[in-house]
Amino acid sequence: MRSMQGVALALLALAACGSNDGAKPRVEDVWVRLAAVPDRPAAAYFTLKGARADDRLLRIDSAVVNKIELHMVGMIGGLMTMRQMADMPLPAGATLKFEPTGNHAMLFGVDKQITPGTGIPMLFTFKSGARIEVEAKTVGAGDDMGGMHH
């Protein structure tokens, strides 16, 4: 009897450990490439994973950044274009990658204390009410990602 209780407790602990029940979107592999020129915007890259229901990324905020904009990259007439998006749709179960030469977030007014290797706290807010806090890794303008997923 005692061993059954132990197994049940172990299974409960394992289930609670890092599992995502699909009720909330996920934000993964967040990193920021700092600007090469002071006072220019930095760029943030990340992966969004949709929950069981459609959602929308409404905004990203940070205590060390004045303003963060979502940007969508596309092609029009053979030319690459970039436009600001008010929000970003996240279909149920979808994986959206924000990566160099693709969709990304622009960070305007990054605190001058932020240097390569310094973490940037970021809060992702979704239409569903989900609010996900992450710490973005930072790299310099010309630095290699050093093994991070990208």
Q: How far apart are CA 44 and CA 70, in angstroms?
A: 9
The model carries a pTM of 0.80
Give the model confidence (pLDDT) of 24-63 as tens digits: 999 999 999 999 988 899 999 999 999 999 999 999 999 9
Angle at CA 110, nearest 5°, toward 143 and 113?
80
Q: How many CA atoms lie within 13 A of 139 on its CB side?
A: 16
Handedness of CA 62, 104, 81, 127 (dihedral sign): negative
Give the per-residue pLDDT at 10.
39
Q: Classify 143 in phi/psi space as left (phi over 0), alpha (psi -120 to 50) or beta.
A: beta
Q: Is the pLDDT of residue 91 over 60?
A: yes
Domains in the chain (CATH in brackets) are 22-139 (2.60.40.1890)
Six token digits for residue 63: 């205590």
Q: Tell me how far CA of residue 122 lies from CA of 7, 61, 75, 146, in angstroms.
A: 38, 6, 29, 21
Give the model confidence (pLDDT) of 102-146 as tens digits: 999 999 999 999 999 999 999 999 999 999 999 999 999 877 654
